[in-house]
Amino acid sequence: MNVLERQFAQTVKEHKSTIYTVCYMFSKDVDEVNDLFQEVLVNLWKGFESFEHRSDIKTWIYRVALNTCISIDRKKKRAASAKVSMDINLFEDCDEDTRQVDMLHKRISKLQPFDRAIVLLWLENLSYEEIGQIVGISTKNVSVRLYRIREQLKQMSND
């Protein structure tokens, strides 16, 4: 293993949870999350040598992971293949907190991919400035979009 490969392996090891967090936002299916994770790794590897450290490595990883997942999500929706599901979860926890979290996740999954990404980063407790750097918009625009997203989520509760 050469120096670049060792650096990449160490970077992935340090930021593995960040990558998985983004992947889980786009799917609950373990196999699909693992596929997304692999695609993100491929894209990170492709850009690793040319990464210029103008931003924090974590910001770059978030951006690559989000762009990868959004791109795959769009392709998946274009394919629009019907999937048979029994909608049964034998391990479902039925307490109120679990139902609330599940309901929020379902609502968030209905958002456009870009808005979903902003919510994900906000739920990760990143600052508006960090979110803006990752998704490529101004801090003020992050604030405005989060306000609109909250309103959209509230509207979904009335549906």
> Domain span at residue 7?
1-89
Q: Say how many domains are in the chain.
A: 2
Same domain, 66 and 15: yes
Same domain, 71 and 147: no
Same domain, 113 and 73: no
> Is 60 exceeded by the pLDDT of residue 87?
no
pLDDT-above-70 percentage for the chain: 86
What is the predicted pLDDT for the residue at 76?
77
Q: Which residue has the tokens 């762009």?
A: 67
Domain boundary among 71, 89, 107: 89
Same domain, 6 and 82: yes
Give mean pLDDT, residues 48-55. 86
- What does the mean pLDDT of the chain come to? 85
> Is 50 exceeded by the pLDDT of residue 84?
no
Structure token pair of residue 106: 């379902």
Domain boundary among 31, 57, 89: 89
Same domain, 149 and 74: no
pLDDT band at 82 (very low <50, low <70, confident <90, very high): very low
Q: What angle do CA 52, 57, 59 make, to 5 degrees?
A: 110
Q: pLDDT tens across 101-114, in order?
A: 778 788 888 888 88
CATH number of the domain within which 4 lies: 1.10.1740.10
CA distances (Å), origin 29, targets 69, 113, 152:
14, 17, 25
Domain boundary among 89, 112, 135: 89
Same domain, 40 and 110: no
What is the predicted pLDDT for the residue at 148?
95
Same domain, 76 and 10: yes
CA distances (Å), origin 31, targets 23, 37, 60, 61, 82:
11, 10, 25, 21, 18
Same domain, 84 and 148: no
